Every structure is written in structure tokens, then in C-alpha cells.
Amino acid sequence: MHYLVEQFLSICDSIHFVFFPPVSFMDAIEFARKGKFDAYVAVGGGSVMDTCKAANLYASSPESDLLDFVNAPIGKGKPVTVPLNPLIAVPTTSGTGSETTGIAIFDYEELNAKTGIASRAIKPTLGLIDPLHTLHMPERVIANSGFDVLCHSLESYTALPYHMRSPCPTNPIERPTYQGSNPISDVWAKHALRIVAKYLKRAVKNPDDREARFSMHLASSFAGIGFGNAGVHLCHGMSYPISGLVKTYRAKDYNVEHPIVPHGLSVVLTSPAVFSFTASMCPERHLEAAEILGADIRTAKIKDAGLVLADTLRKFLFDLNVDDGLSAVGYTTADIPALVKGTLPQERVTKLSPRSHSEDELSCLFEASMKLY
């Protein structure tokens, strides 16, 4: 057992441990409220850690309704003022970065879309980044979780800069969790992107390449530190309805009883279209990202930054056997209005896009993502 978990157990041996496999936010919250636990250990991927964050939050604030802390406009977006109990997060996938963030995402079934809670108060007390916990991941889980890291890096590096976000708070301490790109988040985003460029293909193609898998596990946390204080934008905002409205697509290597478009896949499928669209607002950053991902940009024109990054991403995704666009995961042009409608409430992230966008432009981005190659 990991040294720190052992230590943790040894200092709290008077505490009764209860194991709870997460089913839904509501079940976990009810379970936590009844159990009145002193501390939480979340062992799993993003859903598990996010569910545990929510259980901790609502058990610490027993009178609150679910929507109280959920992001506006779906929820009331109230600030968290109660103290929470310690939460130790142990990620077993290499993508979410949830162990480093104050974000908890869930499927709000009434709207068929994902939404979330964002508050520094729910950030785990400690994260155990041990790559040995990820050796069970099958090939597509490595790939899809890696795409989440890729998009965390690219989106946080190209997000609206923190000083251009409105409304501008009167005191810097009041900046939201997702404050926009900034010199600190840039460090983490670029470093994580370099690791993805060097190791993701190796990790996917050879499960025994431990250096690659270990590096991707660190990259997942590093990208988390970056996007956890900068934010993400359109790929993530548009991914929530792509996952939420899934019809019959069942991703390979996911051992679940229901149709699923895995989070990382739903995020990455729109990336070529999104970065073609956003590049005009910060073309240097788009070109720099393309270069890190292997493009030769010596003769590239700044006005082609979006196309260069989009082409680089298409090649990267093709090499990794990614399904050929939204059409390959079951969507047709007829679904676009519903996908746009599901994106509109994701303001928490979409307003961090460096380029503002109309509903028509969102439609075009979904349309352009129907086929990739």
C-alpha cells in the first residue's frame, strides 16, 4: 500500500472506514450525510473524485439543495462558506487532473447535459500521484484520458487572459476558480503539452512502456494545476452535450452497461474545428502549440495558425485511431440544434473562449466536427 495512505490510516485508526462505490451524486451525498464521516479517500477516475468532492461538500452543508452550489445559470452558484473535511484523492486514470482542482462535474439528467460545481473549497487536501495505480487502464482508456490532458493544456493555454475576463473583480482574491489564462497556468499548460507530445502515442501503443505511462500520469496532474486555475473553453463546453446526448455509441474498452462517449473523446473530437475558430485571437499561441505537437512552423504564416494547429491535431488523432468525428459516434446534422442547446448553459467555460461566438457559430463548429479526416 502506498506509504502516505498507510500513514494516513495509522494516524486515524480510531476512525471507522466505510467503502462506498459511487452511483450518483445524490446517492453519495445522502450516504455521506447519514455517515457523518471525518474524512474521505477517493480512489478512481474523474467521476469518482468529483462525486467524493460533492459528497464532502453537501455533507458539510446538510441544509443545502444540490443546485445551491451548482454553477449558474443551471444552479444558483452560491459561494461555499462552510469548512469541509479532508479529502485524499488517488487518481487511477491519467486525464482528469481532478485531484488538483476545485471542480466537480456531473450529469444533470433533467437537462441531459453535464454541469458542475466550481469552488476552491472542494479541492482535495492531498493527491497521491502514483502511476502504479494506472497500470490497469486498457488501450482506449489511456488514449481518451490522454486526449483530456491534451485539451486541458490547449484550452487553458489559449483561454481568454485573466485580465480580459469580465466582469473584472474589484479585488484579485475574488477572481473565480476559472480566472482565464495567466503566467502561472501557462507554465503548467505548456509543460503538460510537451509531455503529451512526447509520450501519449508511446503510452497508447505499448502498455508496457512504463516511462510513457508514468510521464502521462504526471502530465495529467500538471495540466490539472494549469486548467484548474485558468479554465478550459469550447472543446469542454461543447463536450458536455456530446457525452450527455449519446444515443447508442459504446466506446471500446469501457466496461459499462450503457451507451457512452468517454469524456476525453467527446472533448477532442471538436478540437480541430475549435482551434481553427479561436486562432485569430492569439495566433502565436496556436502556432506554438502546433510546434510543440510536432509541426514544422518555420515557414508557417501567422494568419494560418488555426489551420496549422488543426492539421497537426488531425494527424495526431489519426495516428491514435480516433473515430472519424461526431458522425462516427452517432450524431447527424439533425442533432446539431440539440448539441448547441446543450452547450449554451456551459457559460462557466464557454465564456473563457478567446473568441466570442453566436449560436450559429457553435452550429458551424459542430458541423465541421462531423468528420475529421
What is the contact surface with a copy of itself in residues (CB under 8 A)? 3-4, 7, 171-172, 183, 187-188, 190-191, 218, 222
The least distance separating a copy of itself from the CB of residue 3, rounded to whole angstroms, comes to 8
For the chain, what percentages of helix, strand and coil (3-state, to nearest 5) are there?
Answer: 55, 10, 35
Cβ-proximal residues to 279 (8 Å cutoff; 6+ apart), any chain: 286, 305, 306, 307, 309
Of residues 264, 283, 276, the one with CA closest to residue 357: 276
Cβ-proximal residues to 261 (8 Å cutoff; 6+ apart), any chain: 242, 243, 246, 249, 251, 329, 330
The least distance separating a copy of itself from the CB of residue 133, rounded to whole angstroms, comes to 16
Residue 215 or residue 270: which is nearer to a copy of itself going by CB? 215
Given phi > 0 = left and psi -120 to 50 = alpha, else beta, which region is 206? beta
The Cα 106–Cα 234 span in angstroms is 18
Residue 37 or residue 214: which is nearer to a copy of itself going by CB? 214
The least distance separating a copy of itself from the CB of residue 184, rounded to whole angstroms, comes to 9
Residue 3 or residue 19: which is nearer to a copy of itself going by CB? 3
The Cα 148–Cα 344 span in angstroms is 21
Cell triple for residue 27?
446517492
Alpha helices in the chain (DSSP H): 3-11, 25-35, 46-60, 66-69, 139-158, 183-205, 210-230, 234-244, 263-268, 271-278, 283-292, 305-319, 336-343, 347-350, 359-368
Residue 5 or residue 67: which is nearer to a copy of itself going by CB? 5
Whether 55 and 91 have beta carbons less than 8 Å apart is answered as: no
Residue 211 or residue 319: which is nearer to a copy of itself going by CB? 211
Estimate the crossing angle of helix 336-343 against helix 359-368, to 10 degrees: 120
The least distance separating a copy of itself from the CB of residue 164, rounded to whole angstroms, comes to 17
Residue 204 or residue 292: which is nearer to a copy of itself going by CB? 292
Residue 24 or residue 182: which is nearer to a copy of itself going by CB? 182
The Cα 223–Cα 97 span in angstroms is 7
The least distance separating a copy of itself from the CB of residue 129, rounded to whole angstroms, comes to 9
Tell me which DSSP letter residue 250 carries.
Answer: B
The least distance separating a copy of itself from the CB of residue 87, rounded to whole angstroms, comes to 18
The least distance separating a copy of itself from the CB of residue 324, rounded to whole angstroms, comes to 35
Residue 21 or residue 172: which is nearer to a copy of itself going by CB? 172
Of residues 284, 330, 288, the one with CA closest to residue 303: 284
Q: What Å distances lie between residue 4 and 49, 96, 107, 119, 366, CA to CA?
A: 18, 21, 32, 26, 45
Residue 125 or residue 356: which is nearer to a copy of itself going by CB? 125
Q: CB atoms < 10 A from the CB of 262, how many? A: 26
End-to-end CA distance of the chain: 45
The least distance separating a copy of itself from the CB of residue 61, rounded to whole angstroms, comes to 28
The least distance separating a copy of itself from the CB of residue 55, rounded to whole angstroms, comes to 27
Residue 61 or residue 215: which is nearer to a copy of itself going by CB? 215
The least distance separating a copy of itself from the CB of residue 6, rounded to whole angstroms, comes to 11
Helix, strand, or coil (residue 91): strand
